[in-house]
Amino acid sequence: MDAWNNGAAAGEANGTRRMLSPVQTGALGRCPRCGEGHIFQGFLTIRDHCEACGLDYSFADPADGPAVFVQLFACVPGVIFIVMLEILARPPLWVHLLVGLPILLITTVLPLRPIKGWLVAAQYVNKAQEAGTAKLWDSLHGRTGAGQDRPR
Protein backbone atom coordinates (compact mmCIF):
# COMPACT_ATOMS: atom_id res chain seq x y z
CA MET A 1 0.00 0.00 0.00
CA ASP A 2 1.19 3.51 -0.74
CA ALA A 3 0.10 7.12 -0.52
CA TRP A 4 -1.57 6.98 -3.93
CA ASN A 5 -3.53 3.77 -3.71
CA ASN A 6 -4.23 2.21 -0.33
CA GLY A 7 -7.39 0.71 1.05
CA ALA A 8 -10.76 0.48 -0.67
CA ALA A 9 -12.24 3.65 -2.08
CA ALA A 10 -15.92 4.47 -2.13
CA GLY A 11 -17.49 4.00 -5.53
CA GLU A 12 -15.09 1.23 -6.62
CA ALA A 13 -16.61 -1.69 -8.42
CA ASN A 14 -14.67 -4.43 -10.19
CA GLY A 15 -11.42 -2.49 -9.99
CA THR A 16 -12.83 0.68 -11.55
CA ARG A 17 -12.77 3.96 -9.72
CA ARG A 18 -14.76 7.08 -10.51
CA MET A 19 -12.53 10.14 -10.54
CA LEU A 20 -13.81 12.90 -8.30
CA SER A 21 -13.28 16.56 -9.17
CA PRO A 22 -10.47 18.17 -7.15
CA VAL A 23 -12.40 21.45 -7.18
CA GLN A 24 -15.47 19.87 -5.60
CA THR A 25 -13.73 17.64 -3.07
CA GLY A 26 -10.79 19.89 -2.23
CA ALA A 27 -12.70 23.13 -1.82
CA LEU A 28 -15.01 21.36 0.62
CA GLY A 29 -12.08 19.74 2.46
CA ARG A 30 -13.15 16.22 1.44
CA CYS A 31 -10.97 13.25 0.57
CA PRO A 32 -9.95 13.36 -3.11
CA ARG A 33 -10.46 9.60 -3.48
CA CYS A 34 -13.76 8.84 -1.75
CA GLY A 35 -15.25 12.31 -1.29
CA GLU A 36 -16.51 11.35 2.17
CA GLY A 37 -13.58 11.66 4.56
CA HIS A 38 -11.88 14.88 5.53
CA ILE A 39 -8.52 16.32 4.46
CA PHE A 40 -8.12 18.70 7.39
CA GLN A 41 -7.69 18.29 11.09
CA GLY A 42 -8.25 21.79 12.40
CA PHE A 43 -8.19 24.84 10.12
CA LEU A 44 -5.18 24.14 7.86
CA THR A 45 -3.51 21.02 9.33
CA ILE A 46 -3.66 18.05 6.96
CA ARG A 47 -4.68 14.73 8.51
CA ASP A 48 -2.45 11.64 8.29
CA HIS A 49 -5.10 9.66 6.41
CA CYS A 50 -8.76 9.68 5.39
CA GLU A 51 -11.01 8.33 8.11
CA ALA A 52 -13.46 6.92 5.53
CA CYS A 53 -11.29 5.15 2.93
CA GLY A 54 -7.84 5.18 4.59
CA LEU A 55 -6.06 7.21 1.88
CA ASP A 56 -2.62 8.16 3.19
CA TYR A 57 -2.16 11.93 2.83
CA SER A 58 1.65 11.75 2.96
CA PHE A 59 1.71 12.69 -0.75
CA ALA A 60 0.12 16.06 0.06
CA ASP A 61 2.53 18.96 -0.05
CA PRO A 62 0.88 22.18 -1.24
CA ALA A 63 3.80 24.18 0.24
CA ASP A 64 3.26 27.93 -0.32
CA GLY A 65 0.72 27.46 -3.11
CA PRO A 66 -2.36 28.48 -1.10
CA ALA A 67 -0.68 31.65 0.17
CA VAL A 68 0.48 32.58 -3.34
CA PHE A 69 -3.00 32.12 -4.80
CA VAL A 70 -4.52 34.15 -1.97
CA GLN A 71 -2.00 36.95 -2.45
CA LEU A 72 -2.38 37.06 -6.22
CA PHE A 73 -6.11 36.64 -6.60
CA ALA A 74 -7.84 37.42 -3.31
CA CYS A 75 -5.75 40.12 -1.64
CA VAL A 76 -5.26 42.32 -4.69
CA PRO A 77 -8.95 43.33 -4.99
CA GLY A 78 -9.07 44.04 -1.25
CA VAL A 79 -5.97 46.22 -1.35
CA ILE A 80 -7.22 48.02 -4.48
CA PHE A 81 -10.50 48.75 -2.70
CA ILE A 82 -8.70 50.19 0.33
CA VAL A 83 -6.36 52.32 -1.82
CA MET A 84 -9.29 53.60 -3.93
CA LEU A 85 -11.19 54.42 -0.74
CA GLU A 86 -8.24 56.55 0.38
CA ILE A 87 -7.83 58.25 -3.00
CA LEU A 88 -11.52 58.98 -3.59
CA ALA A 89 -12.85 59.66 -0.08
CA ARG A 90 -9.82 60.38 2.14
CA PRO A 91 -11.60 59.00 5.22
CA PRO A 92 -10.13 59.23 8.73
CA LEU A 93 -7.95 56.41 10.05
CA TRP A 94 -10.77 54.81 12.05
CA VAL A 95 -12.75 54.25 8.82
CA HIS A 96 -9.77 52.44 7.31
CA LEU A 97 -9.50 50.29 10.43
CA LEU A 98 -13.23 49.62 10.53
CA VAL A 99 -13.52 48.81 6.81
CA GLY A 100 -10.01 47.81 5.68
CA LEU A 101 -9.06 45.28 8.35
CA PRO A 102 -12.16 43.11 7.91
CA ILE A 103 -11.75 43.21 4.12
CA LEU A 104 -8.11 42.14 4.37
CA LEU A 105 -8.92 39.40 6.88
CA ILE A 106 -11.81 38.09 4.77
CA THR A 107 -9.78 38.10 1.56
CA THR A 108 -6.73 36.45 3.14
CA VAL A 109 -7.92 33.97 5.76
CA LEU A 110 -11.18 32.60 4.35
CA PRO A 111 -9.83 31.42 0.96
CA LEU A 112 -6.80 29.59 2.45
CA ARG A 113 -8.59 26.37 3.43
CA PRO A 114 -10.53 25.79 0.18
CA ILE A 115 -7.46 26.61 -1.92
CA LYS A 116 -5.22 24.31 0.13
CA GLY A 117 -7.82 21.53 -0.12
CA TRP A 118 -8.07 22.04 -3.88
CA LEU A 119 -4.27 21.83 -4.26
CA VAL A 120 -4.08 18.61 -2.19
CA ALA A 121 -6.92 17.05 -4.21
CA ALA A 122 -5.29 18.16 -7.47
CA GLN A 123 -2.00 16.56 -6.38
CA TYR A 124 -3.82 13.27 -5.84
CA VAL A 125 -5.83 13.35 -9.07
CA ASN A 126 -2.85 14.41 -11.19
CA LYS A 127 -0.38 12.13 -9.35
CA ALA A 128 1.85 15.17 -8.82
CA GLN A 129 5.42 14.73 -7.65
CA GLU A 130 8.69 16.54 -8.07
CA ALA A 131 10.07 16.30 -11.59
CA GLY A 132 12.64 13.54 -12.05
CA THR A 133 11.79 11.69 -8.83
CA ALA A 134 9.57 8.90 -10.23
CA LYS A 135 12.26 6.19 -9.91
CA LEU A 136 13.17 7.31 -6.39
CA TRP A 137 9.48 7.44 -5.41
CA ASP A 138 8.90 3.95 -6.80
CA SER A 139 11.98 2.48 -5.08
CA LEU A 140 10.95 4.01 -1.76
CA HIS A 141 7.52 2.45 -2.06
CA GLY A 142 8.71 -0.96 -3.23
CA ARG A 143 7.28 -0.81 -6.74
CA THR A 144 9.02 -2.26 -9.75
CA GLY A 145 7.05 -0.48 -12.49
CA ALA A 146 6.79 3.31 -12.40
CA GLY A 147 3.37 4.39 -11.20
CA GLN A 148 1.80 0.97 -11.68
CA ASP A 149 -0.73 1.19 -8.87
CA ARG A 150 -1.55 4.88 -8.90
CA PRO A 151 -5.09 5.94 -9.80
CA ARG A 152 -5.78 6.47 -13.47
Give the other-Cβ count within 10 Å of 115's Cβ. 21
In tens digits, the chain (152 residues) has pLDDT values of: 445 454 444 444 445 567 899 999 999 999 999 999 999 999 999 999 999 999 999 889 898 999 999 988 888 888 999 999 999 999 999 999 999 999 988 989 999 999 999 999 999 998 887 777 777 767 766 776 554 444 44
Virtual torsion, Cα 105, 109, 111, 116, nearest 10 deg: 160
Cβ atoms 41, 35 nearer than 8 A: no
Question: Which element (helix H / strand E) includes 105?
Answer: helix 101-109
Please give the pLDDT value at position 64.
92
Q: Which of 63, 58, 62 is nearest to 140 (CA)?
A: 58
> What is the model's pTM?
0.74
Q: What's the burial of 118, exposed, middle or buried (CB within 10 Å: 0-12/13-18/19+)?
A: buried
